[in-house]
Homo-oligomer: A and B are copies of this chain.
Amino acid sequence: MTITKDWAETMERIFCPRSIAVVGASADKKANGYQYLRFLKDAGYSGPLYPVNPQRKQILGLPVYPSLTRVPGKVDYVISCINAGQVKELLEQCAEKGVRAVHLFTAKLSETGDANARRLEEEIGQKAKKLGIRLIGPNCMGIYNPEHRLTFNHDLCMEPGPVGAIVQSGGLAGEIVRLAALRGVRFSKVVSYGNAVDLNERDFLEYLLWDKKTKIILMYIEGTKDGRGLYQALREATKIKPVVILKGGRSKAGQKTVASHTASMAGSIDTWRVMLRQARAIQASNLNELLDLAVAFYFLPPLTGKRVGMIGGGGGKSVLASDEYEEAGLELIALPREVLAFLEGRAPGITGWLGNPVDASILAGINVKASELLQCMAASPAFDLLSINASEDSLFPGRMWTAFIREEVRGGIAIRRKRLKPVVAVMNTPELEARHLENWRWQSLFRLRQQLTTAGIPVFSSPGRAATAINKLIDYYRYQERARELP
């Protein structure tokens, strides 16, 4: 990929526009032309915001312009909420106004399967190309850039961070930001790009690779028109930044759904899997795994060792966690000499019984605090990573129960603060109904989860989900390490 000044400038105008016109702005709350204005106002977008609508004078306190060409200032970026049939005319106006980038929220094009709509989409693409205008979409949500106060949905976290995302689906783009943010992940730039008549996944990948604010890249792809180009871009990108990909349209039913969603050819999943593996992309098999991988790469350093020390959980939970960690590829090594010595010092003979994972209910019986043991484990070079299993059920109610888990959480946080050793936590996500929200147990868990996340410890909702994400992270960094060692 060759970066030109012109390319970089265009992409920056898309992701960081200095002014925005919303064409097809509306005062109807059910209209997207209203919602986009609302999003940008609520997010505090600071550049000029120009609603365009020939029938309105004012929306949300902003003066409305009858056409794009009547907007007084310079326009970097247009959000099109008008009908597909009006887009070609809009492009003419854009050219006249000097607009170089248009986001087509506008849909009902090739994804409808209608031959006329498909032809219209092609014509839109050709016209934009001729006029030198870059298109995002059609049929997509566009750009989320929290640092720039640019957003495509309501109530999204506006604190910026290092994760970029390229998401073919608009609904999923919002959902990925929303659900990852609940788990502490923060984003640099996200694009929802829909039918990709012009700018496609490859363009956005190259941009996020180039973008200094982005350290980790997530992708949700339904299909591509340029598999070879995507492969090349991925190979280049994964050498520098981890790229996590969820492929939609793996099954026959999924492929059909893809056609009516973004009019993409989903392609054979076997071919995709081989291509992604060869490009060293990190493959997620579902949305939760994509989020887990985002959490893992966001919170963890470049780990290359698989030896885990685990604490917490009763016996049954320790058994299940052992199984799931080992099945995913991690190693629960025997407790090393220095940890055995510590435990023997406190309770002679105990190490014939206690192993790794350390069953916290046994610890309680010998008066060893989880935080003390964690400290000892953190000091041992035998472990690459510590894991806290922080949600076991217990015999004891209320504060006694909370104190038990809090001790593990506190121990983990102390290690994280001093950066003694990478730490992860496993905490169940209870499937609550409204009537459970007041319950002390779930409120305590949610408080502890908040403490963990705030302290920079990634939290996963089952041992299997934790282990799968961590193991893929390690495999990625191991390959990077080997690749660097090659002559």
Which A positions have Cβ atoms within 8 angstroms of B? Answer: 29-30, 32, 35, 111-114, 153-155, 167-172, 174-175, 178-179, 182-183, 220, 222, 246, 248-254, 256-258, 260-262, 286-288, 313-320, 322-327, 331-332, 349, 352-357, 359, 361, 392-397, 400, 428-437, 441, 443, 446-447, 449-450, 453, 459, 461-464
Contact = CB atoms under 8 A, between A and B. Distances in A.
Given A316-B220, A446-B436, A253 B332 contact: yes
B446 A315 contact: no
B114 A169 contact: no
A323 B353 contact: no
A178 B393 contact: yes
Contacts of A361: 171
A482 to B, nearest CB: 26
Given A30-B396, A252-B326, 16 more contacts: A112-B352, A113-B353, A154-B397, A169-B316, A171-B316, A172-B316, A172-B317, A172-B320, A175-B316, A246-B320, A249-B319, A257-B355, A286-B320, A429-B431, A431-B449, A433-B453
Given A353-B114, A394-B171, A395-B35, A315 B257 contact: yes
A32 to B, nearest CB: 6
9 contacts: A169-B314, A170-B316, A172-B320, A172-B393, A175-B316, A179-B430, A248-B323, A257-B357, A436-B446
B353 A313 contact: no
A254 B262 CA distance: 45
Contact of A396 (B35, B182, B327): B35
Contacts of A396: 29-30, 35, 154
A226 B432 CA distance: 39
A260 B359 contact: yes
A434 B446 contact: yes
Contact of A182 (B168, B432, B459): B432
Instruction: State the copy count for this chain.
Output: 2
Contact of A400 (B29, B317, B453): B29
A269 to B, nearest CB: 9
A392 B171 contact: yes
The 10 residue pairs across chains A and B that have the minimum distance between CB atoms:
A169-B316, A171-B314, A261-B315, A251-B326, A172-B316, A433-B450, A253-B332, A254-B323, A253-B322, A254-B322
A319 B254 contact: yes
A248 B316 contact: yes
Nearest to A323: B254
B327 A251 contact: yes
Contact of A175 (B35, B262, B392): B392
A436 B181 CA distance: 11
Contacts of A320: 172, 246, 248, 254, 286-287
Residue of A29, A220, A287, A357 contacting most chain B CB atoms (<10 Å): A287
Contact of A461 (B352, B431, B435, B450): B431
A245 to B, nearest CB: 13
A483 to B, nearest CB: 30
A298 to B, nearest CB: 14
Nearest to A428: B179
A286 B324 contact: yes
A322 B256 contact: yes
Given A429-B429, A437-B437, A315 B182 contact: no
B257 A318 contact: yes
A318 B253 CA distance: 10
B319 A261 contact: yes
Contact of A459 (B332, B349, B431): B431
A159 B248 CA distance: 42
Q: Which of A32, A254, A431 has the most CB of B within 10 A?
A: A431
Given A286-B462, A443-B437, A261 B154 contact: no
A169 B220 CA distance: 40
Contacts of A326: 251-254
A375 to B, nearest CB: 23
A390 to B, nearest CB: 13
Contacts of A323: 248-251, 253-254
B170 A314 contact: yes
Contact of A327 (B168, B250, B313, B461): B250
Contacts of A352: 112-114
A248 to B, nearest CB: 4
A154 to B, nearest CB: 4
Contacts of A155: 397, 441
A222 B257 contact: no
A251 B464 contact: no
